[in-house]
Amino acid sequence: MHGSISNKKKQDLRAKDLAHKIHREMYDIYRGYKYVPMGEASSLMIPVTVGCDYSRCKFCDLNHDLPFRIVEPDKLEKILSLQSEFYTLRERKPKRAVLLHANPFALSGKRLLEISALVRRYLPFVENFGCFSRVDAVLAKGQDELRQLKAAGFDSLTLGIESGSDKVLSLQDKGVTVAKTRTALEKLRQAGIRYSFYIVLGLGGEDLSAEHQEETAKLINSSQPEEVFFLSLVMFKNAVLVKELRAGNFKRMRPLDCMQEAASIIEKIKIPLIVNGSHKNNIFSFKGRLPEQKELLLEKLYAEIAAYSENEAFKRDVRRWKYWPNE
Ligand code: SF4
């Protein structure tokens, strides 16, 4: 009995030590800037790329301090080996893995297949994979390549769609059009790869808000994502958009108006999906399954909007994003 307790203790200490080493290795690569799609929060993180290979969207400075690069194969294997040992000491093992970082799907199909095989060699319990992807990373792959990736476990992607309006995409220099987005989504559908969207509320500013709502709802209705994540626009300190704002070329929407924009898009959605507005960028959280919870969700959303005074919304925004008062 005493022997088994002390073995358990030893195992726990070893697991703690391994978790610490994994954390250190990850920090060495990403410092404080590690992020994954909201829907992949409980997936095992696999470090394959750092930053974004595009890095031109005006509203984004997520990868400001981390220029794009591919994680060195030795480093990747070192972390996989630590993760492998860690999970031999744990009963619960993750079945799903998420590749980091902003656009790992930009890697060639061949490299992604190699990575999935490598992950399975070290972590045979991993069954499938997800990651963020830009639309052009999907377009760059052939239909057969996508089918092979699906067979290798890439069963769903999270796409930073941001808006269904070409005007908004162009304003923000997103580098893709809605037509290209539609083609990419069709390719994914044919390959049997599911997808979810990130949509940024307030991305068109005051001038393009109506267009952003209308066109985004149209895109959602015609493309059937599984889940749509809504995030309010944040003025990141180093984003190009800040300069546009200061020059008077972009009129930022108030936090409450972003919530109003969410409600208006949800009103227009006619297909079954999950609406997820639980991101911390939003001044309040909302989530529900459509169509069953549409009415309830909208009721709650409008009640929250009505209950929030501009002053409260402003204060909360300031607390979260200290940059706001300097605008
Ligand atoms: S929004 Fe996404 S695609 Fe655009 S620069 Fe940022 S990380 Fe890259």
Ligand 1 atom closest to the CA of 53, numbered from 1? 8
Q: Read off the pLDDT of residues 176-195 as tens digits, 9 standing for 90 and up.
A: 999 999 999 999 999 999 99
If one residue of 30, 35, 50, 52 were mutated to test the ligand 1 pocket, choosing by the most ligand atoms within 8 A of its CB, it would be 52
pLDDT at 312 over 80: no
- The proportion of the chain whose per-residue pLDDT surpasses 70, expressed as a percent, equals 93
Pairing type for strands 287-290 and 273-276 reads: antiparallel
Sign of CA dihedral 158, 164, 168, 174: positive
Confidence at residue 309, expressed as pLDDT on a 0 to 100 scale: 73
At residue 2 the predicted structure's pLDDT band, cuts being 50, 70 and 90, is: low
Secondary structure of residue 99 in the 3-state scheme: strand
| The model's pTM | 0.92
Segment 237-257 mean pLDDT: 91
At residue 3 the predicted structure's pLDDT band, cuts being 50, 70 and 90, is: low
The CA-atom distances, in angstroms, between 65 and each of 8, 71, 155 are 41, 16, 31
User: DSSP letter at 325?
Assistant: G
Mean pLDDT of the chain: 92
At residue 325 the predicted structure's pLDDT band, cuts being 50, 70 and 90, is: very low
Question: Rounded to 5, what percent of the chain is helix, strand, coil?
Answer: 50, 15, 35
State in Å: Cα 320 to ligand 1 middle. Answer: 21
Confidence at residue 326, expressed as pLDDT on a 0 to 100 scale: 39
CA 167 to mean position of chain CA atoms = 22
Q: Read off the pLDDT of residues 68-126 as tens digits, 9 standing for 90 and up.
A: 999 999 999 999 999 999 999 999 999 999 999 999 999 999 999 999 999 999 999 99
Tokens read off for 69: 């690069």
At residue 32 the predicted structure's pLDDT band, cuts being 50, 70 and 90, is: confident
Secondary structure of residue 79 in the 3-state scheme: helix
Element (H, E) at 200: strand 194-201
- The proportion of the chain whose per-residue pLDDT surpasses 90, expressed as a percent, equals 81
State in Å: Cα 235 to ligand 1 middle. Answer: 14
Burial of residue 211, with CB atoms counted within 10 A of its CB: 0-12 exposed, 13-18 middle, 19 or more buried = middle
Tokens read off for 207: 């001038």
Ligand 1 atom closest to the CA of 162, numbered from 1? 1
Confidence at residue 236, expressed as pLDDT on a 0 to 100 scale: 83
Confidence at residue 61, expressed as pLDDT on a 0 to 100 scale: 85
Confidence at residue 320, expressed as pLDDT on a 0 to 100 scale: 61
- The contacts of residue 230 (CB under 8 Å, 6+ apart) are 199, 201, 262, 265, 275, 276, 277, 279, 282, 286
Ligand 1 atom closest to the CA of 56, numbered from 1? 5
CB of 102 shorter than 6 A to ligand 1: yes
Pairing type for strands 227-232 and 273-276 reads: parallel
Segment 312-320 mean pLDDT: 68
pLDDT at 322 over 90: no
**For 2-326, which CATH class?**
alpha beta
Tokens read off for 166: 């070409």
Q: Read off the pLDDT of residues 33-59 as tens digits, 9 standing for 90 and up.
A: 888 999 999 999 999 999 999 999 999
CB of 54 shorter than 6 A to ligand 1: yes
Q: Read off the pLDDT of residues 195-231 as tens digits, 9 standing for 90 and up.
A: 999 999 999 999 999 999 999 999 999 999 999 999 9
Ligand 1 atom closest to the CA of 102, numbered from 1? 7
Query: What whole-number distance in Å separates Cα of residue 2 and Cα of residue 275?
Result: 51
Q: Where are the domains of the chain?
A: 2-326
Confidence at residue 89, expressed as pLDDT on a 0 to 100 scale: 92
